[in-house]
């Protein structure tokens, strides 16, 4: 037998997901901020997993320097200077036409985050801009939305799944916005494609636990990986920090910048 009905059979056969978990995944909505290397790989996996609805947000156009690691794009997209969300939306629809895909070619700002992001079941970090991540963290904590931080540059990466009230938020671990001149990004220190793949895979794995209905996982954890030295570790975390300016004290410094 080889029919479209068989599409999710191997995922359903995985016992922790099963038919019920697949139905939960199908009923869920994920939103990805940033459609670069992480966003491309996460969108690809989520659409194949049979998500109900996927929203992609990115204002940028495909460039030749993206093709080395941003797996949804090809030479034609770079030559045409196509919007990433447009190229990604077309490719993803060809992979799985059952998924409701929405694309927004906009930059997330403090002024528009509420209307642009709304209330998805999970927000996935595909941006490489720290101010946007701190903004997402403020918004997610304020609204009680789960989100998954993911970052990578050179050969190293970090993943932090955040469930407000249950796990530490981004500012519990990193209270201050990094100096933009010091923060390592693909533009400053380069990147090898495999590290983006492994970070995206960790993010999607954590998202699938939530979306399939396993509310008890992910446990509070920070993943760190350096593929060049061969180090992979998951650090068990305690709960949120009482003195965290965001989730501990309820100060949303990055969201509030919008009103000034």
Task: Using CB under 5 A, list all residues that contact Zn ion.
Answer: 169, 171-172, 240, 244, 246-247
- Rounded to the nearest angstrom, the gap between the alpha carbon of residue 7 and the centroid of all alpha carbons in its chain is 24
Cα 253 to Cα 59, 63, 124, 249, distances in angstroms: 24, 33, 21, 11
State which residue has the least CB distance to Zn ion: 244
Helix 193-211 with 18-26: angle, nearest 10 deg: 100
Nearer to Zn ion among residue 159 and residue 246 (C-beta): 246
Map residue 143 onto helix, strand or coil.
helix
Beta carbon of residue 256, minimum distance to Zn ion (angstroms, whole number): 16
Nearer to Zn ion among residue 226 and residue 253 (C-beta): 253
Nearer to Zn ion among residue 210 and residue 252 (C-beta): 252
Nearer to Zn ion among residue 69 and residue 171 (C-beta): 171
Beta carbon of residue 91, minimum distance to Zn ion (angstroms, whole number): 36
Phi–psi pair at 130, nearest 5 degrees: -65, -40
Beta carbon of residue 248, minimum distance to Zn ion (angstroms, whole number): 6
d(CA 76, CA 89) in angstroms, rounded, equals 15
Beta carbon of residue 257, minimum distance to Zn ion (angstroms, whole number): 18
Nearer to Zn ion among residue 42 and residue 172 (C-beta): 172
d(CA 63, CA 169) in angstroms, rounded, equals 33
Which of these, 95, 53, 54, lies nearest to 71 by C-alpha position? 95
Beta carbon of residue 142, minimum distance to Zn ion (angstroms, whole number): 12
């Amino acid at each position: 037998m080889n029919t479209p009905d068989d599409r999710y059979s191997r995922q359903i056969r995985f016992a922790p997901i099963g038919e019920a978990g697949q139905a939960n995944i199908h009923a869920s909505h994920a939103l990805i901020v940033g459609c670069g290397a992480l966003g491309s790989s996460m969108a690809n996996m989520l659409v194949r997993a049979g998500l109900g609805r996927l929203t992609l947000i990115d204002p940028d156009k495909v460039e030749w320097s993206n093709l080395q690691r941003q797996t949804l794009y090809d030479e034609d997209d770079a030559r045409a200077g196509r919007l990433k969300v447009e190229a990604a939306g077309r490719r993803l629809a060809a992979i799985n036409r059952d998924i409701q895909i929405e694309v927004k070619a906009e930059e997330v700002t403090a002024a528009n985050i509420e209307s642009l992001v709304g209330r998805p079941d999970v927000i996935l970090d595909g941006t490489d801009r720290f101010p946007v991540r701190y903004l997402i963290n403020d918004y997610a904590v304020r609204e009680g939305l789960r989100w998954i931080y993911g970052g990578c540059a050179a050969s190293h990466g970090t993943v932090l799944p955040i469930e407000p009230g249950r796990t530490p938020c981004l500012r519990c671990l990193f209270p201050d916005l990094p100096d933009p001149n010091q923060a390592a990004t693909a533009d400053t220190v380069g990147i090898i494609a495999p590290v983006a793949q492994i970070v995206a895979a960790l993010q999607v794995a954590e998202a699938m636990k939530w979306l399939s209905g396993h509310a008890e996982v992910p446990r509070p954890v920070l993943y760190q990986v350096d593929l060049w030295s061969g180090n992979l570790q998951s650090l068990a975390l305690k709960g949120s920090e009482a003195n965290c300016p965001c989730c501990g004290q309820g100060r949303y410094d990055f969201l509030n910048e919008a009103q000034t």
